[in-house]
Amino acid sequence: MDFNHIAKKWQSQWESKKIFEVKEDSKKKKSYVLQMFPYPSGTSLHMGHAKNYVIGDIVARHKRMLGFNVLQPMGYDAFGLPAENAAIKSKSHPKVFTDIAIKGYIQQSKALGLSYDWSRVLATCYPDYYKWNQWFFLKFYERGLAYKKKAPVNWCNSCQTVLANEQVEQGKCWRCHNEVSIKQLEQWFFKITDYAERLLQDLSLLAGWPERIRTMQSHWIGKSEGATIFFPVKDSKEKIEVFTTRPDTIYGVNCIIFAPEHPQVLELVKGTSYQAQVHEFINKVVIKERFKRGDEDQEKEGLFIGKYTVNPLTKEELPIYIANFILLDYGTGAIMSVPAHDERDFAFAKKYNLPIKTVIQKEGLNCVLVHGSPEKDQSKEPSDIPQNQKPWYVWTKKKLEECGYKVTLPLMPKSWLPDYADWKREFEKTEVNEKSVLIGHSAGTAFLVRWLGETKRKIKKLILVAPGKISSHDRVKALYDFKINKEIKKLVDEIIIFISNDAQHHIDSAKLYEKELDGQLIEIENKGHFRTSNMGMGEFPELLEKILDRSTAYTDNGILINSGSFNGLSTQKAKSAVIKELQAKKIGAAKQHYKLRDWLVSRQRYWGTPIPMVYCTKCGIVPVPEEELPIKLPEKVEFTGEGNPLAKTKDFVNVNCPKCKSPAKRETDTMDTFVDSSWYFLRFCDPHNNNAPFDKDKVKYWMPVNQYTGGTEHAIGHLLYSRFFTKVLHDMNMLDIEEPFVNLFNQGMLHKDGVVMSKSKGNIITQDEISQKYGIDTGRWYLMSVASPDKDIEWDDKGVEGSFRALNKIVALIENAKYTAKEERIEAKMHKTIKEVSETIESMTYNMGLIKLMEFVAYLQKQPAITKESVEVLIKLISPFVPHLAEELWEMTKHKGFVCQEDWPKYNEKKINPKIDAAEELVENTTSDIQAVLNLVKIKPKEITLFVAEKWKYPLFKKLHQEENRDFSVLMKKFADKEHGQDVGKIVQQFMKGALKTDIFLSPEEELDALQESKSVWEKQFGAKFHLVHADSAKEPKAKQAIPGKVAILIK
RNA sequence: GCAGGGAUGCCGGAGCGGUCAAACGGGAUAGCCUCAAGAGCUAUUGGCUCAGUGCCUUCGAAGGUUCAAAUCCUUCUCCCUGCACCA
């Protein structure tokens, strides 16, 4: 069969009969299937493009056969830079390039066999389309959603235009990958930020979108909840407004930091001695290091500006800084620095030696300190303090409690004669958990190490001060005589050992612990054995430092400490409590902040929609009246490559003011092409409307898009803008819906030689190549068969040939078919296939669908004769995938009309008979078992006898299947019978190992029948005579090996 | 760093608690067909075993849950994708 020929044949028939053209039909359920429309570049479509469209086309064709009224249109995103750049290069006009490209694209889309309604084709570069861009612009302007402002914008020097934030990728232009710079320009913006909250909230409605895309959008919108707080400047009426997400940490503020370019900075520094330095710093960061500023590991740098502010709650005086890591356009451009609980502030404070105050503590932290053993009983001595009340213990306890710790200092019984069991009893009165810090001093260390090794408890930290272990004293033997359990290492996050100029056996003990437990050994000078006499005032800051661990900022939630009346509150509660207090004092308020910026839509290029605005010296900015639309792009324009050609086209620029009629100038900026693509799916519903962008009722019928297919690269740009437009139009009462795309599918890329297939990589396979060699159906089949459509796939010429073979197999099957009347087994298989293929189409796992189809083909091939119905069903099932072949086969099998207009086959669950499956499986297993045995014995078989298992085994199997118990002896008691005692034992054993199939569908007779049917096939295949026997009536011992679902095999 | 997705036999790629030594395709090997090549068909393609349809070891690594783990949980390693000094 000439696949290429039939493709053309059916394409022209579909076209002439207009069978994919649709109208609204209130009686029919609609389905709108759409693929992201392409930018028509000069080069031809390749198989990578094809993949996207075919995925959607399969959905459309399937839905159509299911009886839906299917709208599947195609259009061209025709404005844009490449055409203009090409025009500059060849001194031509972008329209010329674009028209040619569109023509080529249409012709190639048709050649792919895509079932588009071509009567609706559109291209955004024609005035009947872009007129409505302008119309929307005016409407947005009326609603305050389009506005002009001077702003620092992203400027791409090679594209000679500004870019939206969404078009800047890692500081580079999305199109040409040149470094983007910042320019101050007057530009038009769409106020997408007004919709930030709705765009975020409604993501939850998009259950049919990939999780990934929703997360990306939500990150892009970047909502953070927090507060703005006013910090008064000392000796001034000025205030500094900061934004923070952690108002709960306000007691921990150590300074206020501005973005260097913040306008307030210059005012504040005025008149101080820091003025010159500050200017220099700003210049350095903002101008010289402009591009470095966003770099990953940019060193944090800052400068004090000579002024102070006051913490409005604590009244503490705080210095004011500027620093390079503070961004002007996020929040208020100024922050309150809380080094203890923010990593950046922490790094900054460390670098400039600023105070760090902890105000949040992890919940449930606790500490137990175990004292040592004195040489004699001192408790009777009136001058002595109790063992657990030594000054540095008490000091540490107090300090830790200030930080929210619960501290216990147990008093060990008879400490001068320590006994492990006694100590343990006392020690365990205190709760120890994973957040515990255990500190031992001297003999206390031995106790803790022994206790941990014995109980294997998980704790946070173990700190050993002047440890004891090695000792010649008999007095401490009852405590010291144990083996160090190295497992402790795994149970404790951190082990620290303090040692000083102590007695040798303590130093040796310290070394021992260091070695055995991988402890961190810290030597401190002149503290001896850390006795009261060695410790002076009894302060032990080194220890405190290690317990508190201030080497990093603690950024998690916790409990407030050092925060006045807020102490003890959780982070969550404290946030609202602090905000409440700020509000009451009118020095702050709750505030949500979004990362999303307004959408910059101005472009300084020719090949786009002119922005319908006029500048009048008297009236200012004047919108062009609706009746004057479209403002057409002037055709006679010179493309020099320098600046915006529109600005130099006098006929275009010079107009009269619509209001006062005096001479005025036209806006020469054009719109971002993403404006075009933000509503094209609406225009498809009513593409030829001259009075409005679309008719409300038509859109109401078709929208929303049921299945949208496209690449991930549009995850935030196009998909976010389209959602924004839809919401605005909803608010303008033009749409009922709030979300344009119900289901979104991201197809995987097509790779070749390990990289994405693209013209610029020079690794494209064109669809023409494939069409000519194999026909486009082979290409469609191949693209869908390699992997599930969402996966990236690698092009493989050998794989294409495999697909070609598959199609030929289908053709051969139908060409050589011998027909028979109804056949139950074929019917069962058929219904099963219908079910499976339908399911794979619904779930868009087409690769599995094709496998199921080929299994069905292989099955039919094996049959001596097949049914007409099964062939009909097969043709219908393949038709979404290989539509041309399906039509051809449909015609070949003497059917009228188009198979693509037939009803999708329905399956009948009742006809899917598990017995037939089981019988088939039995035959397949038996075949491979015979084969396996033959391979083993390597003899030429003359006779092969198959034994079906003895009758009594069947009910036993059923019972075993229902049995939950897995205890051998119990099962045996239950199932053993006198006659088959040993055999039951074997079977039960096998069953418990899970070696037996559990579902038994066939009786011995049915098994025999199934085998009987394959007998002739086997005899031919193996060249031996086959005997089929009931094991019950067999004498051969072999027969006993048969079990239900598995025959015994005897070969002679 | 954060978020999302991965890691499966020679390769691509299914599977996502028992029916799994793991679909399907490609490649490789052997056989059939043929004058021959190609196409087509059949078998094999982790190891062991070779009167038997079994046993052993495998699904990134290590632990765990379970009668049962490629599949569930925990930790780790590596890869991809996106975001990234966002207060």
For residue A997, is pLDDT > 60? no
Rounded to an integer, what is the distance from CA A169 to the centroid of its chain?
18
| Å from the A54 CA to the B2 C1' | 36
Q: Is the CB of A991 under 7 A from strand B?
A: no
Record the tokens describing residue A525, joined without a space. 């000078």
Query: What is the C-alpha to C-alpha distance for residues A636 and A988, in angstroms, rounded to an integer?
Result: 91
**In this structure, what token pair is assigned to residue A292?**
């470095």
Confidence of residue A211 (pLDDT cuts 50, 70, 90): confident
Instruction: Over range A423-432, report the average pLDDT.
Output: 91
A655 strand-pairing partners: A664
Report whether pLDDT(A358) > 70.
yes
Question: Which positions 297-316 on chain A have a beta carbon less than 7 angstroms from any atom of strand B?
Answer: 298, 300
Please write down the long-range contacts of A348-353, taking CB distance under 8 Å and 24 or more positions apart: A348/A257, A348/A300, A348/A302, A348/A321, A348/A323, A349/A254, A351/A300, A352/A302, A352/A321
A679 and A725 in contact (C-beta within 8 Å)?
yes
In contact, A408 and A428? CB cutoff 8 Å: no
Question: Could you say which nucleotides of strand B lie within 7 A of any protein CB atom?
Answer: 3-5, 12-15, 18-19, 23-27, 39-41, 43-44, 49-55, 67-68, 81-87
Looking up tokens 């792919």, which residue turns up?
A112
Q: Which pLDDT band holds residue A604 (cuts at 50, 70, 90)?
A: confident
- Spanning CA of A1016 to C1' of B21, the rounded length in angstroms is 30
H-helix or E-strand spanning residue A780 = helix A776-785
The pLDDT-based confidence of A471 (bands split at 50, 70, 90) is confident
The answer to whether the CB of A943 falls within 8 A of the CB of A1031 is: no
Whole-number distance in Å between A712 CA and B22 C1'? 32
Q: Can you say whether residue A2 is alpha, beta or left, with left for phi > 0 and alpha for psi between -120 and 50 degrees?
A: beta
pLDDT band, very low/low/confident/very high, at A576 (cuts 50, 70, 90): very high
Indicate if the pLDDT at residue A214 is higher than 60: yes
A982 pLDDT band, cuts 50/70/90, is low
In this prediction, residue A120 carries a pLDDT of 97
CA A1051 – CA A940 distance, rounded (Å): 9
Q: What is the rounded average pLDDT for all residues in chain A?
A: 88
Q: Output phi, psi for A232, to 5 deg.
A: -70, 140
Q: Residue A258 belongs to what H/E stretch? A: strand A255-258
Say whether the CB atom of A852 is under 7 angstroms from strand B.
Answer: no
Q: What nucleotide is nearest A226 when CA is compared to C1'? A: B87
- Mean pLDDT confidence for A715-725: 93
pLDDT over 60 at A840, yes or no? yes
- C1' nearest to CA of A928: which nucleotide? B53
Q: Which residue is nearest to nucleotide B3 (CA to C1')?
A: A215
Characterize the bridge pairing of strands A302-310 and A317-323: antiparallel
Give A1042 CA → B66 C1' in Å.
31
Counting every residue, how long is chain A? Answer: 1052
A682 has pLDDT over 90: yes
Q: How many Å apart are A1019 CA and B71 C1'?
A: 40
What pLDDT is stored for residue A994 in this prediction?
53
Decide if pLDDT at A423 tops 90.
yes
pLDDT of residue A990: 64
The mean-pLDDT minimum among A161-170, A231-240, A437-446, A915-924 falls in: A161-170
Residues 368-397 of A with CB under 7 A from strand B: none
Name the nearest CA neighbour of A111 among A38, A53, A40, A35: A53
Q: What is the pLDDT of residue A327?
A: 87
pLDDT digits (tens, 9 = 90+) for A27-73: 999 999 999 999 988 777 889 889 999 999 999 999 999 999 999 99
- For tokens 């600023």, the residue is A354
Q: How far is the CA of A768 from the C1' of B11 (A)?
A: 28
Element (H, E) at A169: strand A168-169
Q: Which nucleotide is nearest to A246 (CA to C1')?
A: B87
Give A42 or A362, the one with higher predicted confidence: A362
A989 CB-to-strand B distance under 7 Å: no
What is the reported pLDDT for A36?
94
Q: Which of residues 698-757 of A touch strand B (CB under 7 A)?
A: 712, 715
State the pLDDT at residue A1009.
85
A937 touches strand B (CB under 7 A): yes
Give A286's DSSP letter: I
- Candidates A885, A884, A708, A894; CA nearest to A15 is A884
Straight-line distance from CA A962 to C1' B65, in Å? Answer: 24
Protein residue with the closest CA to the C1' atom of nucleotide B14: A848
Six token digits for residue A627: 């009746």
User: Could you check: is the Cβ of residue A805 within 7 Å of any atom of nucleic acid strand B?
Assistant: yes
Phi, psi of A742 (to 5 degrees): -75, -55
The residue whose CA lies nearest the C1' of nucleotide B50 is: A936
CB-CB neighbours of A820 under 10 Å? 14
Q: What is the distance between the alpha carbons of residues A943 and A1049, in angstroms, rounded to a whole number? A: 10
Per the model's pLDDT, the better-predicted residue between A957 and A125 turns out to be: A125
Cβ A648 to strand B below 7 Å: no
Residues 151-210 of chain A: which lie with beta carbon within 7 Å of strand B? 169-170
User: At a CB cut-off of 8 Å and minimum separation 6, what does A318 contact?
Assistant: A231, A253, A254, A255, A256, A308, A309, A310, A311
Average pLDDT of the residues in A81-90: 81
Q: Given this model, what pLDDT does residue A228 score?
A: 93
d(CA A635, CA A492): 77
* Residue A595 Cβ under 7 A from any strand B atom: yes
Q: A1020 beta carbon < 7 A from strand B?
A: no
Return chain A residues 246..265 having CB < 7 Å to nucleic acid strand B. 246, 259
List, for residues A1003-1036, the tens digit of each pLDDT value. Answer: 888 888 888 888 877 887 777 888 888 888 877 7
Residue A959's region, left for phi above 0, alpha for psi from -120 to 50, else beta, is alpha
Strand B contacted by A993 CB (< 7 A): yes
Say whether pLDDT at A226 is over 70: yes
Say what the pLDDT of residue A979 is: 65
A1046 touches strand B (CB under 7 A): yes
**Above 80 in pLDDT, residue A176?**
no
What single DSSP character describes residue A786? S
| Confidence band of A611 (pLDDT split at 50, 70, 90) | very high
A923 CA – B23 C1', rounded, Å? 18
Residues 664-703 of A near strand B (Cβ < 7 Å)? Answer: none
Provide ipTM, 2 decimals. 0.94
Evaluate if the CB of A287 falls below 7 Å from strand B.
no
Q: Which tokens belong to A928? A: 């491979």
| CA→C1' distance for A348 and B3 (Å) | 26
User: Which nucleotide shows the minimum CA-to-C1' distance to residue A921?
Assistant: B19
CA angle A655, A657, A661 (to 5 degrees): 105
Place of tokens 């067999």: A1034
A918 is near strand B: CB distance < 7 Å: no
